[in-house]
Amino acid sequence: MFDFLIDGFGVALSPLNLGLAFLGAVLGTLFGALPGIGPINGIAILMPLAYTLGLPAESALILLAGVYTGAEYGGRMSSILLNVPGDAGAVMTTLDGHPLAKKGLAGPALGLSAVSSFVGATIAIIGLTLFAPLLAEVAVMFGPAEFFALMVFAFSSMAVMMGKDPIKTAIGAVLGVLIAMVGVDSGTGVLRYTFGLAELYDGIDFVVMIIGLFAISEILLMLEHANRKDAEDEMPPLGRVMVSLKELAHCKWTMLRCGLIGFIVGVLPGTGASVAGAVSYTTEKRLSDKEGTFGTGDMRGLAAPEAANNASAAGSFVPMLTLGIPGSGTTAVLLGALMLYNITPGPMMFSERPEVAGGLIASLYIGNVVLLALNLPLAGLFARVLTIPRWVLVPGIAILAFAGVYQLHSDLMAIYLMLVIGVFGYLLRKLGFSLAPVILGYVLGGLMEDNLRRALSISGGDLGILWQSGISIGLWVAAVALLVLPWLLPRVLRAWQ
């Protein structure tokens, strides 16, 4: 295990990859600081550019992973300073972060959130280092039936834990699965949902899908709110940014507990930082809020979601690298980056492409230290990004989105399809749907169908193969339990009382 990590550092510490890790950390912090951009949009914009520039697979993944972790750091800035979450994962940060800023403690709040993010991410990266190779060894025993059961478990986990409305989450996931079915059926050659357009025979390209769904829909939302008040008028003074040892000591157990909670939640397929932040905040409030100060500007209320968000981001790499299924919406996009390079994520990647898996894990250690070093002294500079006017921001994002898609395809049809998907994503967001289940359904749907076909072809069409092994049965039981227990437990407790 440690030889694997040492080899990974040999990859990550090369001058090119070290520079890309630093660049990813800076760009990620900037993307995260801008409300509504977040890690998914940042990765969606940069992924086609990284591929077009001819970066090796491990270098591209190091850059994009740096953007992901950097955006989790940067998302706290608008939450604390403006009470506007940078992304869904930063919603819980506003509860105590903004009240601290209104008390004149904006600087210490930013400093504490950076340290909490560092502690949470460190716990999760160590967990990733220890458990990913072990889980990969177990996953080698998975056949098509086990992988199909795993996809069912992932969908159950997503429906229960992602978003406030399980029905909308399930609908979003089904829409993603339907989009994944567009094109020629690989098993029968039947055309599905192509509407007579030859350009859709190969299906909807992943890059077109994510840039349209996230970047274009975000541009439309920005245009809708173009008349908002400038952030510069609302920005509170930062003051000192360095957090005191007394403040850190007050929050030390909170950071450790919530970092562990965030890692566990992140490992569950289809959850993400928003679930980790909510679970950690409510748990910490029950354990520590003896004086009723949570929600009024308590340092522990800020440290809890920040440690959990970053731990969840690193934890979500575990199912992606070992099982080939995304742990969050952002790792679903990173999964697409691997597919661009014809790399199949999963247990065999640790033996077939160790430079990719090892280099990525080692780069997370490096990026985490870089992010702490950047975000403590330069918090005020990064916060100025919040004052960029929308008349500059919207055209910049649009140019990168159009250029990224056109560079990959050199086809106007891809641009038109991206715009159609963007309008579709905009309408979903206006109706209160989260887009993360859609992209997860898109990614998992194709994998689920392929594994179901393989399992049935092995068994000659006998459905019994799907729950034949102990692993399959365990995953089916876990999937059903996830769906039933949240509904059943409250009723049992009320009956008991």
Would you list the DSSP string of 361-387? HHHHHHHHHHHHHHHTTTHHHHHGGGG
Q: How many CB atoms lie within 10 A of CB 246?
A: 8
The secondary structure of residue 163, as a DSSP letter, is S
What pLDDT does 63 receive? 92
Please answer whether residues 155 and 455 qualify as being in contact, where contact means their C-beta atoms are separated by less than 8 angstroms.
Answer: no
- What pLDDT tens digit does each residue of the chain (497 aa) get? 677 788 888 888 899 999 999 999 999 888 887 766 778 888 888 888 888 888 888 899 999 999 988 888 887 787 788 776 666 667 778 888 888 888 888 888 888 888 998 999 999 999 888 888 777 777 777 788 888 888 888 788 777 665 567 788 888 888 988 998 888 887 778 888 888 888 788 888 877 888 888 888 888 887 877 665 544 445 666 666 677 788 788 888 889 999 998 898 888 776 667 778 777 888 888 888 778 788 788 888 888 888 988 898 888 888 888 888 877 778 888 888 888 888 877 777 877 888 888 888 899 999 899 888 888 777 777 777 777 777 777 788 788 778 878 877 777 888 888 899 999 999 998 888 888 788 888 888 888 888 888 888 888 888 888 888 888 888 888 888 877 776 777 777 677 76
- Beta-carbon contacts of 234 under 8 Å, excluding residues fewer than 6 positions away, are 81, 82
- Beta-carbon contacts of 136 under 8 Å, excluding residues fewer than 6 positions away, are 321, 322, 346, 347, 349, 350
How far apart are the C-alpha atoms of 6 and 324, rounded to whole Å? Answer: 23
Domain containing 284 equals 3-496
How far apart are the C-alpha atoms of 113 and 305, rounded to whole Å? Answer: 9
Q: Which helix (H) or strand (E) holds 204?
A: none
Please answer whether residues 121 and 69 qualify as being in contact, where contact means their C-beta atoms are separated by less than 8 angstroms.
Answer: yes
What pLDDT does 461 receive? 82
For residue 230, give Cα distances in angstroms to 30, 224, 383, 387: 18, 15, 14, 7
- Threshold 0.85, pTM exceeds: no
Residue linked to tokens 């979450």: 85
Q: Is 100 exposed, middle or buried (0-12, 13-18, 19+ CB in 10 A)?
A: buried
How far apart are the C-alpha atoms of 7 and 263, rounded to whole Å? Answer: 24
How far apart are the C-alpha atoms of 328 and 318, rounded to whole Å? Answer: 11
For residue 385, give Cα distances in angstroms to 18, 84, 381: 24, 14, 7
Q: How many domains, the chain?
A: 1
Length of the chain measured in residues: 497
Helix 15-33 and helix 354-375, axial crossing angle in degrees, nearest 10: 50
Q: How many CB atoms lie within 10 A of CB 7?
A: 16
